[in-house]
Amino acid sequence: MPEGFAPEYPVGMPSNFAFGGMLNLEDIPGKRKAGSMMWSGVANSHWWIDPSSGIAGVMVVTLLPYADYVATDLYSKLETALYKGLIAESRSADGAEA
């Protein structure tokens, strides 16, 4: 671990990093595909990575309570808009109709 990265962590102590999140086993219509990984934090921050579509997104807020309606709605609209715009742009670039 780099010195100063986590001041409470002893300098020289061996460490490693892990990556994890929840996997989608099925497509979510209009959003991420099966095999995507996502996570949501207690303060309503969210991220997802969709390797099939080549799309990833993050929304960082600090808002309680967890699963606040406004934050959840914003995240859903963000993901939907990204997929709609990026997929349409990709089809347009490939010469297909959007």
Q: Kindly report, residue by residue over 31-83, the tens digit of the pLDDT.
A: 889 888 888 888 989 899 999 999 999 999 999 988 888 988 898 899 999 99
Domain of residue 40 covers 22-93
- 68-92 burial code (b ≥16 CB/10 A, e <16): eeebeebbeeebeebbeeeeeeeee
**Is residue 1 domain-resident?**
no
**Is residue 55 domain-resident?**
yes
**Is residue 53 domain-resident?**
yes
Residue 91 has pLDDT above 80, yes or no: no
**Is residue 5 domain-resident?**
no
**Is residue 76 domain-resident?**
yes
Cα(75)–Cα(65) distance, integer angstroms: 15
